[in-house]
Amino acid sequence: MFDLVSDVDFMEMMPNTSVLGPKETHSTDCNGLYQDLTSIHALDISTARSNDFYALSSSTASPVSASTGKPKRKRVISSVQRQAANIRERKRMFSLNEAFDSLRRKVPTFAYEKRLSRIETLRLAIVYIAFMTDILENN
DNA sequence: TAGGCCATCTGGTCCT
DNA sequence: AGGACCAGATGGCCTA
């Protein structure tokens, strides 16, 4: 049951853990890489014009959609649209990391432990939920 | 220096 | 048509 997390010995850590309080030495903004998010809001994505188009792949072999069986259409976008898509993707990843951070705060860790990676966070959360479920079912 | 982790870019696919 | 989601590629940073 607890073998999901090979690199975290949950049973061993339980007696001494606080549910909250992993040190936040390393927030989402770990490398200052999100400093530009402020400027993201300033960028008017609506300026991405719609003079772009879908075009049939002009290459020799046009691939076929696995789901529809129709020929795949290559989506051609302008550099402005590409930039806007990059910004949206950064925002999306930012909110994903915010969710990881809030999950990190919910799973028990030793205060001195280094920040959990995303995969460690997910695995520990799975084990933690299973552990708590086990406790509830045996009471 | 190798390996792990992460941010970012990019193109494909799905959905509205 | 365009945004959301996803996965692959790439490069930087950090640690053992």
Annotate A9-76 with three-state secondary structure.
CHHHHHHHCECCCCCCCCCCCCCCCCCCHHHHHHCCHHHCCCCCEEEECCCCCCCECCCCCCECEEEE
Instruction: Summarize pLDDT for A7-21 with one digit per residue, the tens.
Output: 344 434 433 333 333
Q: What is the pTM of this model?
A: 0.64
Nucleotide nearest to A34 (CA to C1'): B7
Judge if the beta carbon of A78 is closer than 7 A to nucleic acid strand B.
Answer: no
A86 SS3 class: helix
Instruction: Summarize pLDDT for A91-101 with one digit per residue, the tens.
Output: 889 889 888 98
pLDDT at position A71 over 50: yes
Report which of residues A105 and A48 the model is more confident about. A105
pLDDT at A121: 92
What would the mean pLDDT of A45-49 be, rounded to a whole number? 35
pLDDT at A129: 94
Cα–Cα distance measured from residue A81 to residue A78, given in angstroms and rounded to the nearest whole number: 5
The strand B neighbours among A residues 80-99, by Cβ under 7 Å, are 82-83, 85-87, 89-90, 93-94, 97
pLDDT at A130: 93
